[in-house]
Amino acid sequence: METRRTIDWRISAGIVVVTPATTMKGLVCVLSLVVISLALSPKPRAVGTEPELITIGVLLAATSDGATEEIEAYRGAVLGLEEANVLAGFFGRRFELSVTRVKGAAEAAAEATRLIERNRAVALISNLNQDAFLAVQSVVHEAEVLLLNCSTRADGLRTNSFPFSFHVEVSNRDYLFALGNCLVSGKNHRRWFLVRGDDSEGEQWEEMVRAFISGANGEIAGVSTVSMKSEGECYNFDSEMLENSRASLVVVGLRGEQLSSFLKSFARLGISLPLALAHFGFDAQEERMAWVGSGPVYWPSIWSRMLVRYSGRELNSRYHKRFNRWMDGDAWGNWAAVKLVAEAVIRTPRANGRSLRAYLERQAPFDGHKGAPLTFDLQRRQLRHTLYVLEMRAPLNEDIEDQLEVVSRFQMVSSDTNARPIGVK
């Protein structure tokens, strides 16, 4: 397939989407349309002057064949852009997203360079895997451009070695802490049966879980590993081993095809033990509808359509009105990232990497519709925000949404204490 045909222009919305293989001719065409669009667009309140155009780059992983518009991260960024432009319009500025989908670390680095050098992006928002994120991080470190991570959860990335990097997405450890506290303290599940991959990532995850559970007066009742080499292979879960373990719930540290296979296998067995998903949640309605298991399922998230307080209802309503879908964690992360950059640009005299970084480091409170001022933990470059634990009760009936509930909320406070419970809704 010729990649050029995937070039898309949504100039009126201030969004430009290009693929990495976009030719120079294509780029010139895109940029020309930007100029034409700006000339035709309504003047902002700064009467008599053209709005200053500020570009934010958004990097999406090219891992599926679906259209960019169908990616929740993209939708979140678009809502953030539209709200940011209401604010920017008052002050004679205008934001634009330059969205690109990339495969692999090398392509990610090349695209990051292009966004910075050609598009003059003041900040990049990454929705990439760890390797690709690291490649982009090297680029922005050299160029002194802001980088906001909205997808990679690796704990090792949360350091202060890269001062232009900030993490909106939460780390594996943060998620585990929120989920674990809910399960142990809130639900009294103290005997955990673990299911993890047989690779080093799985080993590290088990180590992290063991450290948590020992500190929480719980115990590991058993561990089952899944081969990470054979993608999509049906996983035959050893139900006897689980039964003999007398576990009170199953905690799953899988993702992707392995997780899908495990869930199918687990559901077929009709086990009614609660299931906790550490790396994944049934955030999308289609995922909830597809679940045929008989026990409750728990997962941590940074956002939920069930949130009402602190204007959660208003943000959910705006997102649903715009896209006819409910906002999930990916969408919230990108919405927040765009708004963080926009606020930094509006509240600082110069929209360059150093001043934007300084603004974020000043701990200016950001409103994420979570009821508390959100600021960055500068040791970990991590946005401290509220995590939620969702519960989906089973068996499902027709009114599936009534069976989804936010059962716990955790406020991240610092790199030492990580997170603390702030109550159950």
Partner 1 sequence: MEDRSSFSRVGLMPIGEILSLTGLLLTPLVTAGEPFAYVSNEYDDTVTVFDTAADEVVATINVGDRPRGIGLSPDGRKLYLALGNEDSIGVVDTVSREMVERLPAGSDPEAFALSPDGKRLYISNEDANTATVIDTASGKALATLPVGVEPEGVAVSPDGRWVYVTSESTNTVSVIDTHKNEVIDTILVGSRPRAAAFSPDGRRAYVSAEIGGVVSVIEVDRHEIMGEIRLSIPGEFVRPMGVVVSPDGSRVYVSTGRANHVAIIDNASLEVLRYVAVGERVWGLALTPDGKKLYTANGGSHNVSVINTDTSEVTATIPTGKGPWGIVIDTHHEK
Structure tokens at 29: 């065409």
CB of 320 to partner 1, least distance (A): 11
Residue 158 zone, left/alpha/beta (φ > 0; ψ -120 to 50; rest) = beta
Told to check if 13 binds partner 1 by CB under 8 A, we report no
339 close to 83: Cβ distance less than 8 angstroms? yes
User: What is the footprint of partner 1 within residues 194-223 (CB under 8 A)?
Assistant: none
Told to check if 49 binds partner 1 by CB under 8 A, we report no
CB of 317 to partner 1, least distance (A): 6
Told to check if 40 binds partner 1 by CB under 8 A, we report no
Told to check if 90 binds partner 1 by CB under 8 A, we report yes
Q: Which residues pair with 300 in a beta bridge?
A: 389
132 close to 105: Cβ distance less than 8 angstroms? yes
Applying CB under 8 A, among 343, 353, 381, 386 the residue interacting with partner 1 is: 343
Told to check if 314 binds partner 1 by CB under 8 A, we report yes
Cis peptide, bond prior to residue 395, ω within 30 of zero? yes
Told to check if 43 binds partner 1 by CB under 8 A, we report no
Told to check if 91 binds partner 1 by CB under 8 A, we report yes
Q: Which stretch binds partner 1 (CB under 8 A): 183-191, 260-268, 285-293, 363-371?
A: 363-371
CB of 333 to partner 1, least distance (A): 17
Give backbone dihedrals phi and psi of 326, rounded to 5 degrees, phi first: -95, 145
Nearer to partner 1, 93 or 173 (CB): 93
Q: Which stretch binds partner 1 (CB under 8 A): 95-103, 166-174, 176-184, 339-347?
A: 339-347
Q: Which stretch binds partner 1 (CB under 8 A): 125-133, 207-215, 309-317, 388-396?
A: 309-317
Nearer to partner 1, 32 or 317 (CB): 317
Q: Which stretch binds partner 1 (CB under 8 A): 85-93, 186-194, 233-241, 253-261?
A: 85-93
Told to check if 363 binds partner 1 by CB under 8 A, we report no
Nearer to partner 1, 93 or 187 (CB): 93
Nearer to partner 1, 89 or 197 (CB): 89
Told to check if 87 binds partner 1 by CB under 8 A, we report yes
Told to check if 83 binds partner 1 by CB under 8 A, we report yes
Number of residues forming the site for partner 1 (CB under 8 A):
21
Neighbours of 271 (CB within 10 A): 17
Told to check if 311 binds partner 1 by CB under 8 A, we report yes
Q: At what angle do helices 172-181 and 200-215 cross, to 10 degrees?
A: 40
Q: Which stretch binds partner 1 (CB under 8 A): 32-40, 154-162, 258-266, 360-368?
A: 360-368
Inter-CA distances, 352 with 32, 82, 100, 109, 203, Å: 24, 21, 21, 20, 41
Told to check if 373 binds partner 1 by CB under 8 A, we report yes
Inter-CA distances, 394 with 139, 237, 254, 271, Å: 47, 20, 21, 11
Applying CB under 8 A, among 45, 103, 118, 362 the residue interacting with partner 1 is: 45
Told to check if 47 binds partner 1 by CB under 8 A, we report no
User: What is the footprint of partner 1 within residues 116-135 (CB under 8 A)?
Assistant: none
Nearer to partner 1, 266 or 410 (CB): 410
Told to check if 347 binds partner 1 by CB under 8 A, we report yes
Nearer to partner 1, 270 or 373 (CB): 373
Nearer to partner 1, 248 or 311 (CB): 311
164 close to 144: Cβ distance less than 8 angstroms? yes
Told to check if 372 binds partner 1 by CB under 8 A, we report yes
CB of 364 to partner 1, least distance (A): 8
**Which residues contact partner 1 (rule: CB under 8 A)?**
45, 83, 86-87, 90-91, 311, 314-315, 317-318, 321, 343, 346-347, 364-367, 372-373
